[in-house]
Structure 1
């Protein structure tokens, strides 16, 4: 079946100064809609021409929108809507436009794979009111999460790419217009945010910052900078209840992600105040205990606010004051002379909450043992947190995961973490089917997950290398790949890392097979990267690699917060198998619509 276009709500609006208010008033309702407050908002373009406001109504499975657009020119028309990854092609748009006679039209439409716009036969965007004043156009409308229309984008709780376009002139009609030739752009949001109560901050909250000390960023593509400093002197235990990024102005594209690690040493042990590359051989060995995550941020993330029952513990008797800030700088143009002072701001209180919170890493190890062949539309990599690790690392009462931050580098397209108990799949921990490496929020979960000893957590990333001619290996570089889920949970435990890679023996056997049976120039003396790069990635060889990853034994990282592995056998262990998969929920569509969609 041909790829169906995704709908774009093209709101095409022709503005002209003479006679516009008379026609527009026919669609205008009372002041009730005009004065409504919306919980969420975002600018759509860099100049703030378009602002989108919205509320989520889970009771009716619908979203209420308000769009405001400001045009200094008298004749302009525009559109806004949704597409899978922010393209104006194959998008879901709504049209509010004005014909030559001055009549206004609000219409649901879509674009094809070349960006040509068409009116939808099923009109699912419902206009509530419209108004124009001082060149500001305001449209209030709504739409269901799932309209059962193949031309419409289905709203979910992952990343939504909002697209817009702006055109000038007086169109005689909008059908057949090529929107790819007009000014257009995108922004990213989580449209269906969880319906959670706002958290009230304690009245004694104060803040401190941990920022890079005017780092001269190296003129190389990838740098992991380490900076060791001391926390404020806290004689008593406190809780971090919120943290957020402080990105230096104009460095939004330079700082890819940051983590703050606590150095778990004796309170009397001195840790050198190092500032330099994290991969440098001359870095002090005393930094090895700096492994317990206090905060983690990645590009696009907003502030992390903890639930009222939990906070990250800092300070108190026996608490080492030393922390290590790690910043991943992405400098693809290798610019020289960049000086950065980005970092994190922490909001703390001495009013302790019921639980200490922690952060745990799930997914794949940072290793070149895993790879993605070139020219793959989608290729899945999976990391396992196996039941043997949670058995030794979690308390008998389990932990509650309340937030999740999915993380990949540049090829990530979809990410999800499954939850398995005794072979039975439970509801997913998190999923983003329109993932963007440029928008990696820490997201509170609508339904916190209770993870018990013996449970398994499986994190999978679907990566696209269709525009790459060379193999992509796992690793720290921006052009290598990661597949990670940083989960926020309580009560805090010593288990810090629960990640896997393909077993070393299985990978060596694969390279040996490729040499013997497929006549590939692999070698026992070569590194995994060298062997992966030596293989000609025919469809057959890609299939063989998939089969390896789907069935081979694992090498596990089941690590405590000080970096040591838990006692146990962690090499060559079997992967988790789901015996009873989770039943997929049915779309709320009539039977004839479902048959049409699947045909």
Structure 2
């Protein structure tokens, strides 16, 4: 989401590590040390990201598509060791780690590590990270290094064009040992892809929608708050969205959010102001659980808030529209902000301030933009076999849908795409899950497979998804009776028969004992054809 002797680069909830003194055995070419008084003047790397909340840790990077080499430059407010890791989930397990630093005599040290679990990582037998340069200057350590995006080393995590989850840490001495919580962190970043287009914010208007609250003490929370937008007398165009996620706890616990338009049913004889003004954050109502089966407050039935407008997941940046495209807004407008909070330890009293800034202008552009969600419907029919390495889930948007929802004569131009899943991606690997099935759902430990497509000109169709019939899915696993029960995170399937699988589906599906290669191949084939 992006060479060291013995270090623990930890996810913020990883709490133990026994420090070990550094024992370096440097090869001759590493002993060609650089005695410098200042950092070499080099070309500024194309991308730059602040990794921490205090402005002490920065990472620059640039990818060379001809050599398949990605070059990093890490700048940290320390005069001791610094480390960067690439991780599947943002934790230590399976992380590919690079540690480097500058010794008192101005020589550099570095090493390549692999973390097998929440323990001291081991030195990788193949050193694929390459230290280019390192220096201490003005109380900071700057390390420049590189790596092939795919080294073909089983202990190196390949870097692709999806979101990469980075872990980072730094020390308070050159002895590599346990690092305190304020000297480590995680960040999801898109390392390979087009840089964010520049946008001159001067002359643009802006409004913000922010939920300032405590994260509920639940592993997974989907929280919805409502906001009133600016009152406009004519059509305007939104030209950029930016995330407002303030503070380390907000960064840690905000998994993603979706901003949606609220609109009236065609048969309503009232205005949005009349129906929505008492339900907004501005009026003092903070919102509630999005899927609460017994919500304390129910929106008027004439109001719908299901028209996706902006989606941001960890690692996302400001989204800017092409110069000839904008999203149309005007007159009265109301919005719903749905935030997925991730709190695996179910901690209490965690402050979070998360939301979105919307930049807009009265200088309308040539094309109106639209957002289309395409994929597989999220739910238990996404059931990924245990220990799978390349299990594929397919969502179809067929001709019957596109012929209705897209004007065939003009077609559409796509200019921004967000691929959204949780850990396993849409070609799934479940080896991280201890031999258990990974199912579709809203939790970070569950999966979804959705693609959000920004396009122009704006079309009528906003959602196009497919799914495998629930009844056929039950038959595949020999389930003869089941029912659903509502929860704060949506409906949960409960198996009633057969008896050996009785209970909540996310747990009892692991009792299924026929995960043969033949069954998996047939099951996947049927799902692809039937969705």
Fold in common (TM above 0.5): yes
Alpha-carbon separation, structure 2, partners of 1:170 and 1:277: 47
1:530 aligns with 2:529: no
Say yes or no: does 1:399 pair with 2:412. Answer: yes
Task: Determine the C-alpha separation between the residues in 2 that align with 1:226 and 1:541.
Answer: 39
Distance in structure 2 (CA, Å) of the matches to 1:479 and 1:81: 21
Using the TM superposition, give the Cα deviation of residue 277 of structure 1 relative to its aligned residue in structure 2, in angstroms: 3.6
Task: Select which of 239, 264, 289 maps to 2:304.
Answer: 289
User: In the alignment, which residue of structure 1 is the partner of 2:141?
Assistant: 137
Structure-2-length-normalised TM-score: 0.71
> In structure 2, how many angstroms separate the alpha carbons of the residues matched to 1:45 and 1:345?
21
Aligned counterparts of 1:401 and 1:43: Cα–Cα separation in 2: 29
- Residue 472 of structure 2: SS of its match in structure 1? helix
Deviation at 1:299, TM superposition (A): 3.7
Deviates more, 1:525-534 or 1:330-339: 330-339
Per-residue deviation, residues 493-540 of structure 1 (Å, max 9, x unmatched):
1111111221234224325xx2xxxxxxx3335448223455563552
1:57-456 to 2 correspondence within 5 Å?
Answer: 57-58=64-65, 61-71=68-78, 76-80=80-84, 82=86, 87=92, 91=96, 93=98, 95=100, 98=103, 102=105, 104-105=107-108, 109-111=112-114, 113=116, 115-117=121-123, 120=126, 125=130, 127=132, 129-145=133-149, 154-164=158-168, 166=170, 185=184, 187-190=186-189, 192-196=191-195, 198-201=197-200, 203-212=202-211, 220-247=218-245, 249=247, 250-265=249-264, 269-271=270-272, 272-273=275-276, 274=279, 275-279=287-291, 280-281=293-294, 283-286=298-301, 289-315=304-330, 321-332=333-344, 342-372=354-384, 380-396=392-408, 397-409=410-422, 412-415=423-426
Task: Decide whether aligned partners of structure 1 residues 25 and 48 sit closer, same or farther in structure 2, where only a CA change above 3 A counts.
Answer: farther
TM-score (norm 1): 0.64
Work out whether residues 52 and 68 of structure 1, in 8 Å CA contact, stay in contact via their aligned partners in 2: yes
SS class of match (2:424): strand
Q: Deviations over 1:413-446 (max 9, x none)?
A: 233xxxxxxxxxxxxxxxxxxxxxxxxxxxxxxx
User: Structure 1: which 5+ residue stretches go unaligned?
Assistant: 1-7, 15-22, 172-178, 416-459, 515-521, 555-572, 576-599
Q: Find the residue that maps to 1:289 and give its secondary structure.
A: strand
The answer as to 2:462 corresponding to 1:488 is no
- RMSD over aligned CA atoms reads 4.4
Preserved contact between residue 211 and residue 342 of structure 1 (Cα < 8 Å): yes
Deviation of 1:314 (Å): 0.8
TM-superposed deviation, 1:241: 1.0
Q: Deviations over 1:272-313 (max 9, x none)?
A: 323444334562352553221122223443222222232211
- SS state at 1:384 partner: coil
Which of 54, 61, 72 is the aligned partner of 1:54? 61
Matched with 2:514 is: 540
Q: Structure 1's 154 and 385: CA in aligned 2 closer, same or farther, altered over 3 A? A: same
Structure 2 stretches of 5 or more lacking a match?
8-20, 23-30, 280-286, 485-491, 496-504
Structure 1 residue 41 and structure 2 residue 48: aligned?
yes
Q: Which has the larger radius of gyration?
A: 1
The CA deviation string for residues 195-246 of structure 1, in whole angstroms up to 9 with x for no partner, is 457333365311012334x667665554433334432111211111111223
* Partner of residue 502, structure 2: none
Q: How does 1:23-38 map to 2 (within 5 A)?
A: 26=34, 28=36, 33-34=40-41, 36-38=43-45
**C-alpha distance in 2, partners of 1:217/1:165?**
25
